[in-house]
Amino acid sequence: MSEAPSEYRVEKHPVYAALTLSHAASTDGYFFVAGSSGPDAGSERVGDLLNGDTGFFPFGLPTSDGGTTTVLVHRDHLVSARLNDNEAARDPGYAYAIARSVSLLLTTGARLAGRVRVYRPAGRDRLSDWARHGARFRYVETADATVIVNIDHVIEAREVE
pLDDT digits (tens, 9 = 90+) for 68-98: 999 999 999 999 999 998 999 998 899 999 9
Q: State the CATH architecture for 87-159.
A: Roll (2.30)
Where do the CATH 2.30.30 domains begin and end in the chain? 87-159
pTM of the model: 0.88
* Residue partners of 64: CB distance under 8 A and separation at least 6: none
Reported as type and span, the H/E element at residue 46 is: helix 46-51
Query: Measured between alpha carbons, how far is 151 from 127 in angstroms, rounded to an integer?
Result: 13
What is the pLDDT averaged over residues 43-49?
A: 94
**Comparison of pLDDT for 39 and 36, the residue scoring more:** 36
With cut-offs at 50, 70 and 90, classify the pLDDT of residue 41: low
How far apart (Å, rounded) are the C-alpha atoms in residues 129 and 3? 51
